[in-house]
């Protein structure tokens, strides 16, 4: 089968950062389904893993967002059949989706939204799992409206995660959403997805919150540079408020700043369930199935903003380069094999 991978950790624009290569097609066993990959999305995690050294220059396939068609199932698979159209993020400890066929555990996959094509579906899984778990499991926001009207500050909201987090926080929870974006086009994107207010993360966040009448917020969902925003976040969070981030601190930050407000801080890592094979890892497949239903009902829309074809080394280099610039709006997807 065709695959796009590499033997070395290189800058995205270097020729060997991605190579088109023929490799063996894997065989479905146990609870794995074998998927003929039709489209893949690229996330910042791909760029981070790309830069990690390869022990002994081993071949590595990146990609943790895909849609495709089931072509074989392992003996223990009960939820899928050959021919099902699926979408999934997969597991960070397993070979990625940038290959013509990929094995994925059935518990972390779901049937794709029937109203969307493969490219529009591939944009969604990784960021949706992150946003759903961050909002509903880590921050504990009610999915059935019990927290309606509470305020959430989403920092870095026009990117892949924010693009679906805004929609989930509005459609399922009816929160009042204050998104941050720094450009007219990223600001408009957030508003179009349901943000009630958009403020600029490069200006004084506290002053802007005060100006819109939300000096303090119930929740903060920080999607970028948590260390840089930590002091502001601890200033604006309400007593007993909750803060979730999906990114590393990279430097010491003072957790004591939360004590006088009895505020909660929590990390979200969307691969935790799959990499630790937790007993509840099937919740990942369920939330993707629920999301597909919400999309088919018209409650949520895809977050795709850019589709390139085919899936090959040249296009992968270009998309990685663009993502590393840090100003993505929505999601970039690669579709089809040449
Ligand atoms: N823990 C997890 O499970 C998990 C899951 C997914 C992603 N992540 C991580 O979360 C981060 C965000 O992911 P993503 O897919 O949403 O990224 P993305 O799509 O690349 O995000 C791009 C957006 O980030 C905003 N941005 C860039 N620098 C910023 C800054 N200094 N302050 C505020 N906003 C800034 C930009 O907004 P403007 O152009 O408007 O400035 C841009 O729209 C990445 O580091 C990713 O690796 C973690």
Q: What is the mean pLDDT of residues 247-263?
A: 93
pLDDT of 57 reads 87
Going along the chain, which residue ranges are E strands? 2-5, 19-22, 32-41, 66-73, 85-88, 101-105, 109-111, 151-155, 176-180, 197-199, 217-222, 237-245, 264-267, 304-308, 331-335
Mean pLDDT of the 153-160 span:
98
Q: Is it the case that residue 31 has pLDDT exceeding 90?
A: yes
Share of the chain above pLDDT 70, in %: 100
What per-residue confidence (pLDDT) applies to 250?
86
Is the shortest distance between the CB of 41 and ligand 1 below 6 Å? no
pLDDT at 324 over 90: yes
On whether the CB atoms of residues 302 and 121 are closer than 8 A, the answer is yes
Percent of the chain that is helix, strand, coil (3-state, to 5): 35, 25, 40
pTM score, whole prediction? 0.98
| Cα gap 92→273, rounded to integer Å | 11
User: Ligand 1 atom 21: the closest Cα is on which residue?
Assistant: 159
Q: How far is the CA of 76 from the centre of ligand 1 (A)?
A: 38
Pocket of ligand 1 contains residue 159 by CB under 6 Å = yes
Fold of 127-267: Rossmann fold (3.40.50)
Report the chain's mean pLDDT, rounded to a whole number. Answer: 97
Which residues, other chains included, contact 111 with Cβ-Cβ below 8 Å and sequence gap of 6+? 80, 84, 85, 86, 87, 289, 292
Half-sphere exposure of 56 (CA within 13 A, CB side): 1
In the prediction, which pLDDT does 12 show? Answer: 96
Atom number in ligand 1 closest to CA 163:
16
Distance CA 197, CA 177 (A): 6
Q: What is the Å distance from ligand 1's center to 246 Cα? A: 9
Q: Is 96 in the pocket of ligand 1 (CB under 6 A)?
A: no
Q: How confident is the model at residue 302 (pLDDT cuts 50, 70, 90)?
A: very high
Contacts of 50 (CB under 8 A, 6+ apart): 6, 9, 10, 12, 17, 62, 320
- Confidence band for 236, pLDDT divided at 50, 70 and 90: very high
Where do runs of H (alpha helix) occur along 18-79?
A: 44-50
Residue 331, SS3 per DSSP: strand
295: CA distance to ligand 1 center in Å? 23
pLDDT single digits (tens) 96-139: 999 999 999 999 999 999 999 999 999 999 999 999 999 999 99
Angle, nearest 10°, between helix axes 184-192 and 160-171? 30
- Domain residue spans of the chain: 2-124+275-335, 127-267
For ligand 1, what atom is nearest to the CA of residue 225?
31
**Calpha distance 1→237 (Å, rounded):** 51
Kindly report the protein residue whose alpha carbon is nearest to atom 44 of ligand 1.
Answer: 44
Residue 56 confidence (pLDDT):
83
Indicate if the pLDDT at residue 308 is higher than 90: yes
**For residues 216 and 192, what is the distance between their CA atoms, to the nearest angstrom?**
24
Whether domain 2-124+275-335 has CATH 3.90.180.10: the reply is yes
**What is the spatial distance between Cα 216 and Cα 152, in angstroms, rounded to a whole number?**
9
pLDDT tens digits for range 42-87:
999 999 999 999 888 899 999 999 999 999 999 999 999 999 999 9
Residue 7 has φ and ψ, to the nearest 5°, of: -105, -10
What are 93's two structure tokens? 């400890």
The pLDDT score that the predictor gives to residue 311 is 98
* Residue-wise pLDDT tens digits, 199-222: 999 999 999 999 999 999 999 999
Mean of pLDDT values over 241-255 = 94
Q: For residues 185 and 158, what is the distance between their CA atoms, to the nearest angstrom?
A: 9
Q: How far apart are CA 288 and CA 254, in angstroms?
A: 35
Mean pLDDT of the region 264-273: 98
| CA atoms of 31 and 250, how far apart (whole Å) | 37
């Amino acid at each position: 089968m065709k695959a796009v991978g590499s033997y070395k950790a290189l800058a995205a624009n270097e020729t060997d950062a991605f190579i088109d290569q023929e490799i063996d097609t894997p065989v479905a066993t146990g609870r794995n389904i074998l998927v003929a990959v039709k489209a893949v999305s690229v996330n910042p995690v791909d760029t981070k893993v790309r830069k990690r050294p390869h022990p002994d220059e081993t071949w590595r396939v990146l990609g943790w967002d895909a849609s495709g068609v089931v072509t074989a199932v392992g003996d223990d698979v009960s939820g899928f059949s050959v021919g099902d159209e699926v979408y999934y993020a997969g597991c960070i400890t397993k070979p990625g989706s940038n290959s013509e066929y990929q094995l994925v555990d059935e518990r972390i996959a779901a049937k794709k939204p029937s109203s969307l094509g493969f490219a529009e579906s591939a944009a969604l899984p990784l960021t949706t799992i992150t946003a759903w778990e961050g909002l509903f499991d880590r921050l504990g926001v009610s999915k059935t409206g019990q927290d309606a009207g509470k305020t959430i500050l989403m920092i870095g909201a026009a990117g892949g995660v924010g693009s679906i987090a805004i929609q989930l926080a509005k459609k399922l929870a009816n929160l009042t959403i204050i998104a941050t974006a720094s450009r007219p086009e990223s600001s408009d994107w957030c508003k179009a997805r349901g943000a009630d207010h958009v403020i600029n993360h490069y200006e004084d966040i506290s002053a802007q919150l005060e100006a819109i009448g939300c000096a303090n917020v119930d929740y903060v969902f920080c999607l970028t540079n948590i260390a840089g925003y930590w002091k502001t976040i601890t200033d604006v969070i309400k007593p007993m408020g909750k803060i979730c981030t999906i990114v590393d601190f990279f430097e010491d930050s003072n957790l004591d700043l939360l004590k006088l407000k009895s505020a909660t801080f929590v990390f979200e890592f969307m691969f935790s369930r799959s990499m630790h094979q937790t007993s509840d890892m099937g919740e990942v497949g369920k939330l993707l199935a629920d999301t597909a239903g919400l999309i088919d009902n018209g409650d949520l829309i895809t977050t795709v903003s850019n589709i390139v074809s085919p899936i090959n080394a040249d296009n992968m280099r270009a998309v990685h380069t663009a993502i590393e610039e840090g100003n993505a709006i929505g999601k970039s997807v690669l579709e089809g094999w040449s």
